[in-house]
Amino acid sequence: MKEGSVTVFSLSSRIARIEKAFEAAYPGIDLIGLDMSSVKQIARVEAEQQAGVHAVDVLYIADTPVVYKKLLDAKRITNYVPPRVAGELDDRYKAPLLVHRLSTKVLMYNEAAYPNGSPITNLWQLTTPDWKGKVLMVDPALRGELLDLLTEIALHPDEMAAAYKAQFGKDIEVDSDLQGAGEQFVRALFQNDLILVANSDVVNKAVGDKTVKDAPVGFATYSDRRDNEKEGWALQVANNVQPANGILFPTVLTIADKAPHPAAARLLIDFMFGDDSPTGGPGFEPFNVPGDYATRKTISDDPDSVPLEKLNAWSIDPAKVAATRGRIADLIITLQ
| Residue-wise burial string across 249-287, b where 16 or more C-beta atoms lie within 10 A, e elsewhere | bbbbbbbbeebebbebbbbbbbbbbbbeeeebbbbbbbb
Contact by Cβ (8 Å): 189, 126: yes
Q: How many Å is the maximal CA-CA distance in the chain?
A: 69
Predicted confidence at residue 336, as pLDDT, reads 86
Predicted confidence at residue 126, as pLDDT, reads 98
Predicted confidence at residue 1, as pLDDT, reads 52
Residues of each domain in the chain carrying CATH 3.40.190.10: 5-102+249-305, 103-247+314-335
CATH code for residues 103-247+314-335: 3.40.190.10
- Look at the alpha carbons of 58, 62, 66, 72 in this order and tell me if their dihedral is positive or negative: positive
CATH fold for domain 5-102+249-305: D-Maltodextrin-Binding Protein; domain 2 (3.40.190)
Phi, psi (deg, nearest 5) at residue 330: -65, -40
* pLDDT < 70 regions, the chain: 1
pTM of the model: 0.92
Q: Of 129, 82, 134, 75, which Cα lies nearest the Cα of 109?
A: 134
How does pLDDT run across 106-157, given as a tens digit for each residue? Answer: 999 999 999 999 999 999 999 999 999 999 999 999 999 999 999 999 999 9
